[in-house]
Homo-oligomer: A and B are copies of this chain.
């Protein structure tokens, strides 16, 4: 599939050089294809950019579809969920995509929305359903499930992840990222778990 090859090359170049810093010729050159073919698939640079974001989002959008068992203790499920969350979020494809989308949010607001809709929003909706059930069972204090999920995600991303977003090397220390998650689980449970 020629189209996919162009998207792959464009993804890597957009990640490395940003939108405005990437040239169509370099994309065509990277895949060994010709510019003519590139333009038959994507009528403009913007369309290619949208296709790249779409491709990653549809590829990784379900990556966070971790199953959330209702019968296991909340703390254990949250810890697993948090660890998978931040390990995916600090990995290259999603982190670079996030940087790209944030950096171009002002010029491509539409892409930022589809990014959020098909990524974070879906994941949070799934987690919120789990939280709602845990609330109904009385294991978690009742409240707004979505707010609880956002807070848990915020707690997980409050520490080293911020360094990762800014490209600092400290943000890549996986064991310390796990510490952040442990602390997030601890704080979340103190605030939301009903006393036994």
Contact = CB atoms under 8 A, between A and B. Distances in A.
A166 B103 CA distance: 9
User: Which bracket fits the contact residues of A?
Assistant: 35 or more
| Number of chain copies forming the complex | 2
Contact of A167 (B105, B156, B159, B166): B105
Interface in A167-188: 167-168, 183-184, 186-188
Contact of A184 (B112, B151, B168): B151
B187 A115 contact: no
Q: Which 5 A-B pairs have the closest CB atoms?
A: A103-B103, A154-B158, A105-B167, A20-B20, A190-B191
23 contacts: A15-B106, A16-B106, A18-B19, A18-B20, A18-B103, A19-B20, A19-B21, A21-B107, A99-B106, A100-B103, A101-B166, A102-B165, A103-B103, A105-B166, A105-B167, A115-B166, A116-B168, A120-B162, A150-B159, A151-B184, A154-B154, A187-B191, A191-B191
